[in-house]
Amino acid sequence: MRYPHCAVGLLACLAMAHSAVAEDAIKTIGEIERIDPAFDTLVPQDAKIEVLADGFEWSEGPVWVKAHDCLLFSDIPNNRIVKWKPGKGTDVFMQPSGFTGAHKFDGKEPGTNGLAISPEGHLTMCCHGDRNITQIVDGERRVLVSHYEGKRFNSPNDLVFDSAGNLYFTDPPYGLPGGLNGPEAELDFCGVYRFSKDGKLTLLTKECPRPNGIALSPDQKTLYVADSQECYWKAFPLKEDGSVGDSQMFYDGSKWRGKRPGGSDGLKVDTKGNVWATGPGGVLVFNSEGKLLGRISTGELTANCAFGPDGTLYMTADMYLCRVKTNAKGLIGSK
């Protein structure tokens, strides 16, 4: 079942999307690595990495939709958003998703990447092929923002809302055919941006060569950005006007690069300020000071993660959708 433009709205689409693949006996992969005793308070000793679904070409951008007790995530190469619901499994929620143009897309990643639910409850999508950020509002696709100083974005990658509805997002070239040197590139840098509630777009920084995952601290005074080229995470202090101060290195993961699958990608922050960041080997768990506490090692290229209810952490890992039980509480929104 396909919903090319999700014409009946987010809530109605979720109600209509019947499960096509039921959950079978759940298998497990990988291992839990405990580096610091504090990790035991976050992940139970008997926790396992459970595979909920597989067969995706490259899964990304999970978001929990509280109002409908389900998870949405991107399957980027297949230009679709997939829905997973407990007890029912997966089904296609939206296709096409990130590329809706009539012309041929010459890249390998046309679909949506990061997904988020706005404070108003609207599904908000980083669209690679369309090179914009789009929301589903009253059953229609509405482009929030697509250009900086008259030039099209590269391929918006990940995003996060603050409680006031201001949007922060990254714009590397991973969904742009040819990258920054390709014929379709209009910007010569990769930026981190703020799109304010009143519609003002601000370039916060372009110091990260390939900004990727992005998240806010619980007090919304720190903006975390992963850089997938250098394999590090930086912390930017947020000023009252929404701009950022000088960055600090939160964690340099370059020593792991090439030794374990994957790199610094998506991340989420729990209510206590711990950072759950996909990186080499799986999901690396840091305290708020940037100390590595442990690793949820999927053994796969792990792209992103999202908290659901009851401390469940969902992970998109290459062809897999996985979950692990935690004792943390995520900032999953009110919608």
| Cα–Cα distance measured from residue 218 to residue 30, given in angstroms and rounded to the nearest whole number | 29
Burial status of residue 288 (CB atoms within 10 A of its CB: 0-12, 13-18, 19 or more): middle
| Cα–Cα distance measured from residue 258 to residue 326, given in angstroms and rounded to the nearest whole number | 28
- Residue spans of alpha helices (H) in the chain: 10-16
- Token pair in block for residue 120: 């108003």
Of 250, 249, 238, 67, which Cα lies nearest the Cα of 162?
A: 238
Active site residue 91: no
| Cα–Cα distance measured from residue 143 to residue 2, given in angstroms and rounded to the nearest whole number | 21
- Give the CA count within 13 Å in the CB-facing half-sphere of 59: 32
- Token pair in block for residue 185: 């590139």
| Cα–Cα distance measured from residue 269 to residue 304, given in angstroms and rounded to the nearest whole number | 12
* 265 assigned binding-site residue: yes
| Cα–Cα distance measured from residue 134 to residue 125, given in angstroms and rounded to the nearest whole number | 5
Answer yes or no: are the C-beta atoms of 313 and 330 closer than 8 Å: yes
| CA 114 to centroid of chain Cα atoms | 4
User: What is the b/e burial string over 45-76, where b = at least 16 CB atoms within 10 angstroms of the residue's CB?
Assistant: eeebbbbbbbebebbbbbbbbeebebbbbbbb
- Token pair in block for residue 182: 């390709």
- Give the CA count within 13 Å in the CB-facing half-sphere of 154: 25
Task: Choose, from 265, 270, 310, 318, the residue flagged as catalytic.
Answer: 265
* 212 assigned binding-site residue: yes
* 60 assigned binding-site residue: yes
* 157 assigned binding-site residue: yes
- CB neighbours of 302 closer than 8 A, spacing ≥ 6? 261, 262, 265, 278, 279, 281, 282, 283, 315, 316, 317, 318
The annotated binding site for a divalent metal cation is made up of 60, 212, 265
The annotated binding site for substrate is made up of 157
Which residues are known catalytic residues? 265
